Amino acid sequence: VGEQALLKCSFRSSSPITESLLVDWTYRPLTGGQMETIFHYRSVPHPTTAGKFKDRIIWVGNVANGDASIAIQSPALSDNGTFICSVKNPPDV
């Protein structure tokens, strides 16, 4: 709590990294409920503009190095839950 939380995500692809590469981060609260997309990357980072993570997610990845990590600023216990990183690099998924 209080310190920036790094959520690491690394990937490998058999296809060259192109501008078609997509990264999606989704979140489900510990208490259950709906999955929500909290971060999207396609050529440039697109942090969420709504919900509990609005203005708190920073892109720290580098897709050229197989890194799709993000950081959450000012994490709170209420942020506890499942975070899923999904990387698609067509035609490789």
* Chain segment 9-67, per-residue pLDDT in tens: 999 999 999 999 999 999 999 988 899 999 999 999 999 999 999 999 999 999 999 99
Q: What is the DSSP code string of 11-63?
A: ---SSPP-TT-EEEEEEEETT----EEEEEEESEEEE-SSSTTTTTEEE--BG
User: How many Å apart are CA 65 and CA 9, to the nearest integer?
Assistant: 11
- Assigned domain for 39 exists: yes
Number of domains the chain contains: 1
Residue 92: pLDDT band with limits 50, 70, 90? confident
CATH of the domain at 60: 2.60.40.10
User: How many Å apart are CA 27 and CA 86, to the nearest integer?
Assistant: 11
pTM for the model stands at: 0.93
- Assigned domain for 83 exists: yes
